[in-house]
A and B are shown apart, each in its own frame.
Chain A
């Protein structure tokens, strides 16, 4: 038996935190090597922010700071769907997922470790979007603490949304299906008050936006910039994130269980 010091080198069960750190560490090491996968998450929101600002700012009227209004839209574009789910598919197809499954690592850590890595990336993606906002003169009425809460809410939103691509990745093992999950984002996003204030929405669109949880997430983010500390708005946004998270995480955990249920 090989030893280091007096302790023999042999396998032993790890803590859940160590499992998480191991899985997340592997994912994070890949990020600098795959910048191309992160770059769109910076360019796309910058593009939509610029285009919407150029096209709609004059229609917004003098009572609305449209530059500030659009920042939550840009952040949502940056952080939504940013996940390592495609790498899960690669691992499944290449057999590496089986290698992970014959180690004592906890199955939930295989999902949550990746999501933890996603959260770190999402947090970093907030930086360029906020920099754009600050660059065009947007200021938070809630100050630095408001910026912090804004980032926390953005990370939470991005984190829970990643449950969907992971659910599809574990369920199907199909890269095309994983890419297609981003489509879910479009109706959620465009049938909300992302680019036009809710008061300006009319008819069926307004009704849908009222029931769309994304409206409340964007509203909470926006309130930190333009309205100050509004507990009710922040709670509504947090509740919307928790609601979507309950669904997406349940789906992801079920799919993970299906993938690692070796009776199948």
Chain B
């Protein structure tokens, strides 16, 4: 696995400080989960610091939710071990449950209760007193932002409202570690932005450790101090998004062309500072470790070809580029194929 060990430098690049003092909030050691002969999680080693936002990125079926379910005590590991807030997820499951808040992939709610009833029940199950429950209800109702609908049955809520109530339920008891399983899947852009802002607030003002799984590159890029990329049950890369992109991704020169000249593609491949050339949706995509240095040579080669160049764009690497580099496929393609 590319271990981006120099990620300490990323703390100055934006996002939070991934190396805050204190014991790790989440540790896994050679964690394995098998379903029959299939290893859904295969020797996973993670170390998430207290106060960190850790983004767990991968397509459906990569093993993200299985890892999250093991960390939340819903699934026992087949081998290896994991601790959350210092407690073993198997032998000290109850202590783990007292320290965590969880939103699962589908908003796991009871449609027959009202939003208020569900949140109050959640508070009671975590041992909060009546006054504390009332206080927390006031706090989380600001987050839920569904007004008087909080007294309607959850079955009448939209998907976005359910997601927000789900998040509020996970926060009722002020957990130390918050697990979010694809928290914004199915949300409209405004609701998604609202959840992102709340995640940042929880992390920055309360120091809450947040472990979120996502299929959305933008989400991981925007929120996470560090990203772990999982593919087929194994961690294939880990580090701050900026460093991952810098060390594992390439600059990309995207050229919109008309015409046909297969020969020039081979010529482009032979240019200095060109790591790869592919044709994608009618565009020529040139990967380069130093795009600005390669741009001129690429332009010259194309102008000498039979192609008519419509536009040429240089962009810095994205997490999708990193994912493609590591797994050989685009995360968007992997997601769309399912």
Q: Nearest Cβ in chain A — how far from B172, in angstroms?
A: 9
- In the assembled complex, the Cα of A7 lies from the Cα of B110 at a distance in Å of 30
Quick check: B76 and A263 within 8 Å, CB to CB?
yes
Given contacts A18-B124, A29-B117, A262-B75, contact A2 B174 (CB under 8 A): yes
Are B76 and A99 within 8 A (Cβ)?
A: no
Q: What CA separation (Å) do A12 and B124 show in the bound complex?
A: 10
Q: Out of B107, B126, B169, name the residue touching A11 (CB < 8 Å).
A: B126
Query: Which residues does chain A contribute within 8 Å of B139, judged by CB atoms?
Result: 2
Q: Given A29-B113, A94-B111, A103-B122, are A10 and B174 neighbors across the interface (CB < 8 Å)?
A: yes
Q: Is the CB of B74 within 8 A of A9?
A: no
Chain A residues in 8 Å Cβ range of B122? 103
A92 to chain B, nearest CB (A): 11
Nearest CB on A from B282, distance (A): 43
Q: Which of B37-68 contact A (CB under 8 A)?
A: none
A1 contact set on B, CB distance < 8 A: 174, 206
Q: Which of B100, B102, B117, B129 is in CB contact (< 8 Å) with A99?
A: B102
A258 interface hit (Cβ, 8 Å): no
A19 to B109, CA, bound (A): 19
Q: How many residues of chain B have a CB within 8 Å of chain A?
A: 39
- Does B335 sit within 8 A of A, measured CB to CB? no
Among B99, B107, B110, B206, chain A packs the most CB atoms within 10 A around the CB of B110
In the bound assembly, the distance between CA atoms of A94 and B118 in angstroms comes to 14
Contacts of A19 in B (CB 8 A): 125
Please indicate the chain A residues that have their CB under 8 angstroms from the CB of B117 in the complex: 26, 29
Q: Are B127 and A101 in contact (CB under 8 A)?
A: no
List the 4 shortest-distance A-B pairs measured between CB atoms, nearest first: A95-B108, A12-B127, A11-B126, A11-B173
CB<8 Å pairs between A and B, sample of 28:
A1-B206, A4-B129, A4-B131, A5-B131, A7-B132, A8-B174, A9-B128, A9-B136, A9-B173, A10-B173, A11-B173, A13-B98, A14-B127, A18-B127, A26-B110, A34-B112, A94-B106, A94-B108, A95-B106, A95-B108, A99-B102, A100-B125, A101-B74, A102-B72, A102-B74, A103-B122, A262-B74, A262-B76
By a beta-carbon cutoff of 8 Å, the part of chain B in contact with chain A is 72-76, 94, 97-100, 102, 104, 106-113, 117, 121-122, 124-129, 131-132, 135-136, 139, 169, 173-175, 206
Q: Which residues of A contact B (CB under 8 A)?
A: 1-2, 4-5, 7-14, 18-19, 22, 25-26, 29-30, 33-34, 87, 91, 94-96, 98-105, 262-263
